[in-house]
Amino acid sequence: MSGVLGGLIAAFPTPVTSSFESIATYTATGSETSFTFSSISGTYKSLQFRIFARQSSGTLTAPALKMRFNGDTTGANYAYHILSGNGSAVSSSGFTNMGEVQLYAFAGNSSTANSFGAGITDILDYASTTKNKTVRTFGGTEQNGSGLTQAISNAWLQTSAITSIEIYGSQLNSFASGSTFSLYGVK
**Average pLDDT of every residue of the chain:** 88
| Distances 44 to 28, 30, 127, 128, 187 between C-alpha atoms, Å | 26, 31, 8, 10, 5
Full-model pTM: 0.85
Residue 14: is its pLDDT beyond 90? no
Whether the Cβ atoms of residue 103 and residue 168 lie closer than 8 Å to each other: no
In DSSP terms, which residues pair with 84 in a beta bridge?
A: 91, 150
| 3-class DSSP state of 77 | helix
CB atoms within 10 A of CB 179: 26
pLDDT tens-digit series, residues 39-85: 999 999 999 999 999 988 877 777 889 999 999 999 999 999 999 99
Report, as an integer, the average pLDDT of 22-41.
94
CA dihedral 68, 39, 178, 19 (to 10 degrees): 100
DSSP 3-70: HHHHHHHHHSPPPP---EEEEEEEE--S--SEEEE-S--S-SSEEEEEEEEBBSSSS-SSPEEEEEET
Tens-place pLDDT, residues 99-146? 999 988 888 888 888 889 999 999 999 999 999 999 999 999 887 777
| In the chain, where the domains are located | 18-186
Residue 144 Rama label (left phi>0; alpha psi -120 to 50; beta): left
- In this predicted structure, the answer to whether residue 8 has a pLDDT above a threshold of 50 is no
Predicted pLDDT of residue 179: 94
Per-residue pLDDT reduced to its tens digit, 145-186: 778 899 999 999 999 999 999 999 888 789 999 999 999 999
The residue among 62, 74, 76, 82 whose CA lies nearest residue 141 is: 62
Q: How far does CA 32 lie from the centroid of its chain?
A: 18
Q: Specify the pLDDT at position 16.
A: 53
Structure-model confidence comparison of residues 12 and 19, the more confident one: 19
CA-wise closest residue to 60 among 120, 119, 135, 117: 117
Q: Which DSSP letter does residue 129 get?
A: S
- Which of these, 3, 24, 1, 28, lies nearest to 184 by C-alpha position? 24
Distance CA(25)–CA(65), nearest Å, equals: 17
- Give domain 18-186's CATH architecture: Sandwich (2.60)
* pLDDT attached to residue 11: 53
